[in-house]
Amino acid sequence: MFLKFFKKQLPSVFTVIFLVGIASWIVTFINPYAANGFENYQMPLYTLITYHIPAQTFLSKLLAFLMIVINSIFLIQLNAQFNLIKNRTYLPTLFYILICSGLSCLHGINPAAYSSFFIILSVSKLFASAEVNTLDNLFKSGFFVSIAALFYLPSVTIVALLFIGIAILNIRGLRAWLSAIAGFATPLFFTFCYYYFFTDSPTILFTLAANSFNFTPLYTFASLGIAYHIFAGFLIMLVLISITFLLRAMGMQKIIIRKYYNILLWLLFGTLGVMLFSVGTSIEIIIILAIPLSFILSFFFNFSRNRFWSELLFIVLIAGVLSMQLFCL
């Protein structure tokens, strides 16, 4: 019943999703001490934001929430443009908001939230490069990855996904690779020029990159309470079920859709690798993980024929996210 309602693409459904998001953040909004920022990460573009909007303010929390909502809306546009899920649905929006809202420590100003916006744009341009304006879209895809890295350094690893995507989409020719590299290099070049001509620290980008792997993350999974571990365990189980379902159903999808999902799976596992093996990466990277997970979960819940179990898992997920507000850090 609940799942059937959320599968529809109606204004009332989006309104309910927005209200669920607010309910997931309500404790953070009313608690002045909830949700610290991630000031340890001071990449140039993120510094501009934290300088004017410090953590522990209502404005910083509101801005963080709005970024999550904006990202989720762009996922809907991504689905509509490339038909990742045949039925028009707001499920990717819902799952993105739920995944990003489950941990209350992420309810603050966060570099990964801004970075995710540009990663979504990069993925969109990468998908589009398979159909039209290949070189232009690959340049823009690399450009957006670079912008994302200027907010949140671990995003720089997405450039590897860009090259993997070129191979998966079977885009041939050296110019395609050079276009992606040129797009990625452009923001970094102008940032370097700014620091070189207008500051006394022309090598600050290299210093930031080196220091980002040396600080102690503000939050780690080990530092979270048992309630969060239970929720994470349930989410991992749900993701494994969804991936298994997706892989079994891939043979019935169009070739281009299979390629899109292959890229999303590479994004998922690549981001997981960064999370597990990068010393300076904290749990904020979940916001980037939520991008591919939103489509993988949506695929499962939209096409699963086992109504009882899919409905039960869906309800437990929503209830789990809302109940996490009782365990704010």
Q: Which residue has the higher pLDDT, 126 or 103?
A: 126
C-alpha 79/C-alpha 123 separation (Å) is 11
Tokens representing residue 169 in the block: 């989409």
Q: Is the model's pLDDT at 69 over the cut of 90?
A: yes
Mean pLDDT to the nearest integer, 175-201: 87
Average pLDDT, the chain: 84
Mean pLDDT to the nearest integer, 10-26: 87
Burial of residue 116 (CB within 10 Å: 0-12, 13-18, 19+) is buried
Q: Is the model's pLDDT at 255 over the cut of 60?
A: yes
pLDDT at 305: 83
C-alpha 116/C-alpha 276 separation (Å) is 19
The angle formed by the CA atoms of residues 237, 238 and 239, to the nearest 5 degrees, is: 90
Q: What confidence category does residue 258 fall into, taking pLDDT thresholds of 50, 70 and 90? A: very high
Tokens representing residue 301 in the block: 């819940």
pLDDT at 277: 76
Q: What confidence category does residue 14 fall into, taking pLDDT thresholds of 50, 70 and 90? A: confident
Q: Is the model's pLDDT at 223 over the cut of 70?
A: no
Contacts of 223 (CB under 8 A, 6+ apart): none
Least confidently predicted of 103-117, 144-158, 164-178? 103-117
Whether residue 152 is contained in a domain is answered as yes
Whether residue 36 is contained in a domain is answered as no
Mean pLDDT to the nearest integer, 267-294: 86
Number of domains in the chain: 1
Q: Which residue has the higher pLDDT, 31 or 148?
A: 148
pLDDT at 193: 85
Q: Is the model's pLDDT at 201 over the cut of 60?
A: yes
Whether residue 180 is contained in a domain is answered as yes
Q: 3-state DSSP call for residue 121?
A: helix
Q: Is the model's pLDDT at 65 over the cut of 60?
A: yes
Q: What is the pLDDT of residues 79-96, one digit of tens each?
A: 989 989 887 889 999 999
Q: What confidence category does residue 219 fall into, taking pLDDT thresholds of 50, 70 and 90? A: low
pLDDT at 59: 82
Whether residue 38 is contained in a domain is answered as no
Whether residue 88 is contained in a domain is answered as yes
Whether residue 37 is contained in a domain is answered as no
Q: What confidence category does residue 111 fall into, taking pLDDT thresholds of 50, 70 and 90? A: confident
Least confidently predicted of 34-48, 220-234, 309-323? 34-48
Tokens representing residue 21 in the block: 């998001």
Q: What is the pLDDT of residues 119-131, one digit of tens each?
A: 999 999 999 998 8
Whether residue 148 is contained in a domain is answered as yes
Mean pLDDT to the nearest integer, 157-182: 92
pLDDT at 290: 94
Percent of the chain with pLDDT over 70: 87
Contacts of 214-219 spanning 24+ positions with Cβ under 8 A? 214/279, 214/280, 215/40, 215/280, 216/40, 217/40, 217/280, 217/281, 217/282, 217/283, 218/36, 218/38, 218/40, 218/105, 218/282, 219/105, 219/282, 219/283, 219/284, 219/329
Q: Is the model's pLDDT at 23 over the cut of 60?
A: yes
Which structural domain range is residue 68 located in? Answer: 2-31+43-327
pLDDT at 328: 54
Q: What confidence category does residue 36 fall into, taking pLDDT thresholds of 50, 70 and 90? A: low
Whether residue 276 is contained in a domain is answered as yes
